[in-house]
Amino acid sequence: ASGKEKWPRGDETVWKTNMRGVDADIGDITKSVVNHVQTSLARQAYNLDNLGAYQAAALSVRDNMLVNWNETQLHYTRKAPKRAYYLSLEFLMGRTLDNALLNLDLKSQYKDGINQLGFSLEDLLEEERDAALGNGGLGRLAACYLDSSASQDLPVWGYGLRYKYGIFQQLISPEGNQLEAPDPWLDNQNPWELPRIDVNYEVRFYGQSERLSEGHGRALWTGGQEVLAVAYDVMIPGCHTRNTNNLRLWESKPKRGFDLNSFNAGNYEGAVESSNSAAAITSVLYPNDHTTFGKELRLKQQYFWTAASLADIIRRFKNLGKSINEFPDYVAIQLNDTHPTLAIPELMRILIDEEDLDWNFAWQIVTNVFFFTNHTVLPEALEKWPVPLMEHILPRHMQIIYDINMIFLQAVEKKFPGDRERLARMSLIEEGFPKQVRMANLACIGSRRINGVAELHSQLVQTTILKDFVEFFGVSKFGNVTNGITPRRWLDQCNPELSKLISSTLKIDKSVWLKDLYKLKGLVKYAEEKGFRAEWAAIKQRNKERLAHHIETTLGFTVNTNAMFDVQIKRLHEYKRQTLNILGVIHRYLELKAMTPAQRKKVNPKVVFFAGKAAPAYYIAKLTIRLIVNVARVINADPETKDYLSLYFLPDYSVSLAEVLIPASDISQHISTAGTEASGTSNMKFCLNGGLLVGTVDGANIEIAEEVGEENVFFFGHLTPAVEDLRYQHMYHPVPVDEACPALANVLNQISGGLFGDGGVYEPLVNTIRQGDYYLVTDDFDSYIRALAMVDEAYLDRDEWVKKSICTTANMGKFSSDRAIMDYAQEYWNLEPIPVGKD
Ligand code: F58
């Protein structure tokens, strides 16, 4: 378009009067839904099922969001503020419809409208498939941060991949084995995404890189494979604001439908193969959790996504007409873990090879744009890529990494002359066969600031994996942003009754306290009111019945809702110690068996729930699931004990399942070996919903206890400083379990003895404890059992328990992701809210 053209074309008032969403009145809503049934779906009232009605309702709500989305993007473009980009390989969004209705404040109107059309909104909500483009905490955190960015009017976009298959579906075989099935979440159309065929970038792999000058100058990267990245946009509505942000997901496509050259040469198969390999890049989310893969396709995913995202960010920046040295004044890029670290050498490549900047100038820009969040200190989770693989796939980036490394190590040598070991530790290249690129080191030296995700974790980052870097750069480059969760989804949406009670008690509209969660403090005084406690307890009870109903209809089990609900839901991992929990359950079962009926009657009845997926290749984690399922089979069938203790493993854990489980929990377990769980975020969700914690002194558990009071948290176990010593003792002065912890030995012997089916099956799992016991199950077992006994005792005094529950919710203000995202905006990105329609 020439600069002289007038926008909009035609009559501006005609445009403006017609640019609006669906009105909030019921007539307009039903009209819009019916219209989508007829035109978008080409269906009729006569054959419309729940799925069709859901799709039409979703499209109608989408129309509304689109108006806000367009307005927001125009507003950001006009104001040209600094923007932040959240680069995450995972966005675990869950369902969208309910969340969108609540954020737009249209839920009751749609409920009525849908009713008039003969459907129930509750049923339609159940038709939506989860968008499960993530493994666990890291991916769900990204989703919460998008919600908070939009709700706080911050100009933040997310960038990720549009995987054709999200996290696998978990099936449990009759023997208790986890089986994995693909998750074809896009099969029945996704109303929440907008394909942007016109927004696409070419991304190169392989080929040759030829240096064009001496030193660290330009190079020419040619040849290899070129793949197209196509944008799909997902609207992110803020809560009670018109600001609607964007999550841009990339899909890979072959540059042409097939490779013309090979096609002409008569190589049809080769041509088809090249198109296949382009599409393969975004076909599946890697399901691993806390282990590195070293897989070629994973590296291609990482580069494909960072290259497309950076190209898009730079194109948007260039539209501002600013000079490139102002880039850091307009752009902040947050690296969610090391997965997008290739963005650092990629930006260097663009600035040097394409923008023709000199090295120092380019490095100055790069190190002012990037910010890096670390999510784990587990050594097996630190990403390293083999140098030969990097050289093959990204020859130019490998040159740049070597250049960065050389210059960096010269600076280290200057500051710490002659310290060869320090140089070896800090090098971007780990010596070995093969040599490997250390991504955390690269992310650290290429970023302006680095943070961990809870106080303890951030301290551990600074004193362990990045200690040398703190000594080199100084401590001010390192910080902490304790994780948070969005109270919209994790209270208002998943626990509507509690949300209502809070609003009516505080006499504050939810639109206010949901965006200023410290307001919950006002609930503390009501803990002393009997009537309020009764209402609070009744809501918990109804949430337990809602969960029981869900289990009854999906799995066919009848759950005892008069029992305490004890929940552990998270990825299966040795460090999270689901083993400790299940061994504790067996211990409780054995104790019950040893009691007389009269003694049993005094026991606090309990139902234990587990849910979570194991990485498909993680043998011990899968064996833990098998043990849980088989313990459940035995315990639930025992007539002597089943009224006092029952156990369920709920298959296929998801965001949606969490939304039913969390509001129903009386107590939840966060029992990682001290120092291993960076933060945890479900701990926050349970407490926000009035569930209490039993946990170790680890991650965000510590800060939760600081806020809600230690008297309201059941802590147990060894502390972080003891862990190293204990492991040392296990290695060099091992004590048999029978001596170290007889109660645990008894439990292990029952497993091996076949109480839960062939004991031999579980030997590899039992041996992780009998030999080595890296995660210190033996050391913490007695203290764990004592903590559970204190939970039982506290639960017997129901009045006191409900007070604890109320005080816990009331003091969770700190853990809103709004607080966390504002912390990033202010202390890291230097970003300001840009509210739409307020000026
Ligand atoms: C989690 N990490 C931490 N990683 O374990 C948890 O403590 C923290 O609360 C959460 O991040 C948010 O900060 C995590 O979920 C992954 O799932 C990675 C996926 C990709 C491979 C490596 C693990």
Helix H or strand E encompassing 610: strand 606-611
Delimit the domains of the chain by residue range. 80-95+130-376, 489-528, 531-805
Burial 215-245 (b: 16+ CB within 10 A, else e): ebebbebeebbebbbbbbbbbbbbbbbbbbb
Distance 135 CA to ligand 1 centre (A): 8
Tell me the C-alpha distance between 165 and 173, whole Å.
22
Distance 715 CA to ligand 1 centre (A): 23
Catalytic residue positions, numbered: 375, 570-571, 576, 681, 685
pLDDT of residue 269: 66
- Pick 80-95+130-376's CATH classification: 1.10.730.10, 3.40.50.300, 3.90.1150.10, 3.40.50.2000: 3.40.50.2000
336 in ligand 1 pocket by Cβ < 6 Å?
Answer: no
Distance 569 CA to ligand 1 centre (A): 14
pLDDT of residue 1: 42
677 in ligand 1 pocket by Cβ < 6 Å?
Answer: yes
Q: Which of 91, 138, 341 has most ligand 1 atoms within 8 Å of its beta carbon, as the pocket-test mutant?
A: 138
User: Which residue minimizes the CA distance to atom 2 of ligand 1?
Assistant: 138
SS3 state of residue 505? helix
Distance 134 CA to ligand 1 centre (A): 10
pLDDT of residue 257: 61
523 in ligand 1 pocket by Cβ < 6 Å?
Answer: no
DSSP letters of 56-122?
HHHHHHHHHHHHHHHHHHHHHHHH---EEEEE-S-EEEE--HHHHHHHTT-HHHHHHHHHHTT--HH
The neighbouring-strand residues paired with 479 are 451
pLDDT of residue 262: 58
136 in ligand 1 pocket by Cβ < 6 Å?
Answer: yes
Please indicate whether the domains covering 80-95+130-376 and 531-805 agree at the CATH topology level.
yes
Provide the strand spans (E) within 127-280. 131-133, 156-161, 169-172, 178-181, 193-205, 208-211, 219-222, 225-237, 244-254
Residues (pLDDT < 70) of the chain are: 1-4, 257-276, 292-294
CATH number listed for the domain at residues 531-805? 3.40.50.2000
For residue 435, how many other CB atoms are within 10 A of its CB?
16
Nearest ligand 1 atom to alpha carbon 339: 20
At 288, which amino acid appears?
Answer: N
Nearest ligand 1 atom to alpha carbon 89: 20
For residue 120, how many other CB atoms are within 10 A of its CB?
13
Tell me the C-alpha distance between 28 and 21, whole Å.
10
699 in ligand 1 pocket by Cβ < 6 Å?
Answer: yes
pLDDT of residue 123: 98
The interface predicted TM-score of the complex, written ipTM, equals 0.98
Question: Which of 252, 194, 200 is closest to 73 using CA atoms?
Answer: 194
List the structure tokens of 552.
């009854």
Tell me the C-alpha distance between 598 and 11, whole Å.
85
User: Which residue minimizes the CA distance to atom 6 of ligand 1?
Assistant: 680
User: Which residue minimizes the CA distance to atom 9 of ligand 1?
Assistant: 680
